[in-house]
Structure 1
Amino acid sequence: MEHVKDFLAEEDGVGVVEVILILVVLIGLVIIFKSQLTNLVNSIFKKITSQSNGI
């Protein structure tokens, strides 16, 4: 019975599960907002390119 209590009290894998859940949420957000992110990055690079021509 003590082995079961020790096993349930052990929290070594909790950090790994948290990191995996955070990664899943971030990947989901990137997939959902992919077109908006692409448009934003493209507009930033166009602005950089146009302003660098003036230098």
Structure 2
Amino acid sequence: MLQAIGSKVKGFWKEEEGLGTLEVILIIGVTLIIALIFKKQITALVTNLLSSVNTKSEEFFK
């Protein structure tokens, strides 16, 4: 009985079907967690970059 359970667990562990989906879900989850942790810094960076682009484009079109 214990050997049968052990072989099923080993078979499940070695099975790679659907593993790509799990990896994508984990990557998305980690990315969201990092984005939430650094939300203020990311917002400040994007705002700074957009204002810089706006300033440079105004200089270019003058």
- TM-score, structure 1 as length reference: 0.74
2:23 aligned with 1:18, yes or no? yes
The correspondence for 1:30, drawn from 29, 35, 50, is 35
Considering Cα pairs closer than 8 Å and 6+ residues apart, tell me whether 1 or 2 has the greater RCO. Answer: 1
Residues 2-46 of structure 1, C-alpha deviation per residue, up to 9 Å, x if partnerless? xx47x5243202221111111100110111111111100111111
2:48 aligned with 1:43, yes or no? yes
Mapped to 1, the partners of 2:31 and 2:59 lie a distance apart of: 37
Quote the sequence identity (%). Answer: 35
- TM-score, structure 2 as length reference: 0.67
Contiguous gaps of at least 5 residues in structure 1: none
